[in-house]
């Protein structure tokens, strides 16, 4: 089910990421109609985005509807939630960058691309940018829900 790097980049980063970013305030406003606390909506929407991302970006072998990596993503979302609350972050952009960096660290330390990442400086740079952007898309709507649509 997974796409190649080029296809997943187009679908996940450009289409889904672009639309999520452009319409983040409108999407978050519609989701906030659901009568749940913002932090719970943050977790639910972040988990849904994680599932979609894994189904688009994971390699064609071994893809499942609910990948085994989802608990890790839930942990990353909880980490982001803790960072946002602990440091009183009120800007969506800062939270997006933080989540992108969490993903970058995770990919370099334990990601499935570890062998590729360290193969050359050019590949390391390319995969680094790709990892940061991939994880950043997951956080756009959840952070807009959590922090409000004015930031």
Q: Whole domain around residue 123: which residue ranges?
A: 5-147
Q: Which residues of the chain have pLDDT under 70?
A: 1-5, 59-64, 111-118, 149-151
pTM of the model: 0.89
CA atoms of 24 and 57, how far apart (whole Å): 22
User: What tens digit of pLDDT does each residue of 68-86 get?
Assistant: 888 999 999 999 999 999 9
Establish how many alpha carbons lie within 13 A of residue 31's alpha carbon, considering only the half-sphere containing its beta carbon.
Answer: 26
Overall domain count for the chain: 1
CA atoms of 72 and 61, how far apart (whole Å): 20
Please report the pLDDT score of residue 110 as a whole number: 74
Q: How far is CA 112 from CA 23, 69, 70, 105, 133, in A?
A: 31, 11, 14, 12, 16
């Amino acid at each position: 089910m997974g796409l190649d790097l080029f296809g997943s980049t187009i679908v996940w980063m450009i289409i889904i990421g672009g639309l999520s970013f452009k319409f983040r305030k409108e999407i978050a406003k519609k989701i906030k109609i659901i009568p749940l606390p913002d932090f719970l909506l943050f977790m639910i929407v972040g988990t849904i985005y994680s599932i979609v991302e894994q189904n688009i970006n994971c390699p064609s072998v071994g893809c499942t509807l609910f990948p085994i990596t989802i608990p890790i993503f839930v942990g990353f979302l909880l980490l982001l939630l803790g960072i946002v609350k602990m440091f009183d972050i009120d800007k969506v952009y800062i939270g997006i960058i933080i989540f992108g960096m969490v993903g970058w660290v995770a990919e370099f330390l334990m990601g499935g691309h570890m062998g590729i990442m360290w193969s050359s400086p050019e590949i390391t740079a390319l995969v680094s940018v790709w990892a940061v952007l991939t994880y950043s898309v997951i956080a756009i709507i959840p952070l807009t829900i959590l922090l409000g649509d004015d930031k």
